[in-house]
A and B are shown apart, each in its own frame.
Chain A
Amino acid sequence: MSGKVRSLIMQAVIGGGLLAGGQMIGHGASADTTINALFMSQAAYSESDVRAMTADFEKANPGIKVNAEFVPYEGLHDKTTLAQGAGSGYDVVLFDVIWPAEFAENKVLVDVTDKITPEMQKGVLPGAWTTVEYKGHRYGMPWILDTKYLFYNTEILKKAGIAHPPKTWAELEKQAEIIKEKKLVEFPIVWSWAQAEAAICDYTTLVAAYGGKFLDDSGKPAFQTDGGVDALKYMVETTDKGLTNPHSKEYLEEDVRRVFSSGDAAFALNWTYMYNMANGDPKESKIVGKVGVVPAPGIEGKSKASAVNGSMGLGITSTSKHPDEAWKYIVFMTSQKVQNKYAKLSLPIWASSYSDPAVTKGQESLVAAAKQSLGIMFPRPTTPTYQQLSTQLQQAIHTALLKSASPADALQTAADAAGGGL
């Protein structure tokens, strides 16, 4: 009996603690306006960078407090919609390039088209605006301008007698074969193919290279044809040949960074942020100074290089009670001054930054790759039901990688299921 009583008391204590914790949220000093912002702690700006920027904002704007929260990318979408569904929550949210359609249709984000000044319009790279646009309206400011680059270990390539990084995916496969034969590393290429959006980003890069399409002009699935199938075939083939690290099926971007930074891979596909962490931070990397970066390769006769649009923007939620303060914060975070200052993990959205020595110094090869890649960024499909489509595709990719179905069949199943089924 005493055990029962004790557990009841425990429950009461825990419950009470939760309630108290719940009450604490949102109660800042009464004179201040507190806005809640949701970010991710994965790729691009680090959590400490975002906190430092936020502290600068608070210093410059007395009376506004920003409560920044961080979740892994995988939780960002659901956290945003759940908070919205509950009718309260964040004022400012970070959103991925694939969500504006859904967020605009469901009125999660506020239309900010009118708030964008001519100076912003002129200064920001034209391609960056596509991140926040849906049906001609803008739902935020682009903030993280990102795509996946091909990173390579210069030392391994040198030992293998390879003079230049690959320009085509076929060439990459050949170089990986040489590296594997010479036993420089067991699995030369590492990717982020976990059953998550990360796998779609790698797949999209290949689809772009092969000249494929996700949807046809009428909005019906087209990835089960031509380039879409070729892309998945390439993924399966490099896995079968032992050129791709077989654990890639379990990896997200951070796993790719760890494997590559330990010197266990010759090639890796990853976002901008990996460059300075792998090449410049001895605490995070065993291959400091040995990292090369180029645009992801192309396919002979089809493309010279390939890139996925992996940009993200900052927007105001429709439930925000302080949209003006929220916008002020967004303008500050996306300003050229702030972006130039923190350009090591994420390159600015501002065109003139790319010729500013303060930004380019120490990362010349990254900036050179960016100049080519950012111009050819390939979008993932713009549809309000993107989450379903992506889930079906992730499943198709895994089914093919695990040899349960051929790439063509797996993608056909995904195409058939798109829009229906479970």
Chain B
Amino acid sequence: MSLRSWLLLAPLLALMTFIIGWPLAKTVAVSFTDAKLLGGDVHWLGLANFQRVLAAPAFYEVVWTTIRFVLISVGAEFLLGLLAALLLDQKFHGRGIVRALMILPWALPTVVNATMWRLIYNPDFGAFNALFTQVGLIDAYRSWLGEPGSALYAICLADVWKNFPLVALIALAALQSVPRELRAAAVIDGAGPWSRFRAVILPYLIGPLTVAVVLRIIEAFKVFDIIWVMTRGGPANSTKTISILVYQQAFSFQQAGLGGSIALIMVLISALLIAGYVTILRKQGELK
């Protein structure tokens, strides 16, 4: 790059360094100390925080919970999003309205969505219990968010409901780019629905879908708000994710140092995911 382009970029670079770099540098610095949120003496601890985190079984439990949340939520969002996109790609009356309606859950703020699902799951007055007892699937009202066996799945469902439209939207956009002649040719050649999907449509979908899924994985990995509102990590820590652990250590317990070190480990994992994302983007660029 020429000097001129660097100069033109400089104001933005400075701003970005300040906004992103400074907190990151501060977190790195804090994570090697016993700093408290509310101040007081700070001592250098070296790697002690990281050792303490990596030696704690509780840390691996929250990592596992987070991974389960990511796999279930993103997996279901991918499937549902793809199916919804294929459906909405068909011609039928009222397609425009249905397409617009589908975006609605995604447009809701997460906190609103979480509160709404808490009401739906309410063990005494919730619609979920009413529906399931009335169709005979369960015989008594249950505490969906109060049992470790169901709490995480219940949250996943709420998350899927909110986020599958994003996948569907991206897939739908990709579907529009499938050339009509190609589809028509496949029909004339006598290809069935499955082989048409596999050979004609899928190649156009795969790129955008990978991007959507990787973005969702990065998002889901950081999940905090929906869980905080619905269960606060309970019951018996069965829905406690890494972000909740970071919040608890750094802000509830004011152990900024320890919380910072967990956050940093999380950043490392996120960085790996983002590296994967960038690689995929590059590959797609090369393909084109």
> Judging by beta carbons under 8 Å apart, are B38 and A74 in contact?
no
> Judging by beta carbons under 8 Å apart, are B249 and A106 in contact?
no
> Judging by beta carbons under 8 Å apart, are A78 and B236 in contact?
no
For A196, what are the chain B residues with a Cβ–Cβ distance below 8 Å?
A: 232, 234
B148 to chain A minimum Cβ distance, whole angstroms, is 6
B219 within 8 A of A: no
For A404, what are the chain B residues with a Cβ–Cβ distance below 8 Å?
A: 236
> Judging by beta carbons under 8 Å apart, are A81 and B38 in contact?
yes
Binary flags per residue of A239-275, CB closer than 8 Å to B gives 1, else 0:
0000000110110000000110010100000000000
> Judging by beta carbons under 8 Å apart, are A402 and B148 in contact?
yes
- B52-60, B91-99, B278-286 - the one binding chain A: B52-60
Report if A422-B236 is in contact (Cβ < 8 Å); known contacts: A81-B37, A81-B254, A85-B38: no
A395 within 8 A of B: yes
> Judging by beta carbons under 8 Å apart, are B235 and A106 in contact?
no
For B39, what are the chain A residues with a Cβ–Cβ distance below 8 Å?
A: 106-107
Give bound CA distance, A65 to B235, whole Å. Answer: 42
For B36, what are the chain A residues with a Cβ–Cβ distance below 8 Å?
A: 106
Give bound CA distance, A391 to B237, whole Å. Answer: 10
A98 to chain B minimum Cβ distance, whole angstroms, is 13
For A402, what are the chain B residues with a Cβ–Cβ distance below 8 Å?
A: 147-148, 235-236
Give bound CA distance, A82 to B143, whole Å. Answer: 32
Q: In the complex, which of the residues B59, B143, B236 contacts A395, with contact meaning CB atoms closer than 8 Å?
A: B236
In the complex, which residues 137-182 of chain B have their Cβ closer than 8 Å to any Cβ of chain A? 141, 143, 145-148
Interface SS of A by simple majority = helix
For A388, what are the chain B residues with a Cβ–Cβ distance below 8 Å?
A: 253
A194 within 8 A of B: yes
Give bound CA distance, A246 to B140, whole Å. Answer: 12
> Judging by beta carbons under 8 Å apart, are A387 and B148 in contact?
no
Q: How many A residues are at the interface, by size bracket?
A: 20 to 34
In the complex, which residues 373-422 of chain A have their Cβ closer than 8 Å to any Cβ of chain B? 385, 387-388, 391, 394-395, 398-399, 402, 404, 421-422
Give bound CA distance, A391 to B232, whole Å. Answer: 11
A308 within 8 A of B: no
Report if A107-B143 is in contact (Cβ < 8 Å); known contacts: A195-B235, A195-B236: no
Binary flags per residue of B62-105, CB closer than 8 Å to A gives 1, else 0:
00000000000000000000000000000000000000000000
> Judging by beta carbons under 8 Å apart, are A398 and B251 in contact?
no
Beta-carbon nearest neighbor of A246 in chain B: B143
> Judging by beta carbons under 8 Å apart, are B235 and A247 in contact?
no
> Judging by beta carbons under 8 Å apart, are B252 and A77 in contact?
yes
> Judging by beta carbons under 8 Å apart, are B124 and A264 in contact?
yes
Some 13 contacts from A to B, beta carbons below 8 A apart, are A78-B252, A108-B38, A194-B232, A194-B234, A195-B235, A246-B143, A249-B143, A249-B235, A250-B235, A258-B124, A259-B124, A402-B147, A404-B236
Task: Supply 13 further A-B pairs (C-beta < 8 A) apart from A84-B38, A102-B254.
Answer: A82-B37, A82-B251, A85-B254, A106-B38, A107-B38, A108-B38, A246-B146, A247-B141, A258-B124, A385-B253, A394-B234, A398-B236, A422-B258
Report which B residues bind A (CB closer than 8 A): 36-40, 52-53, 56, 58-59, 123-124, 141, 143, 145-148, 231-237, 245, 248-249, 251-254, 258
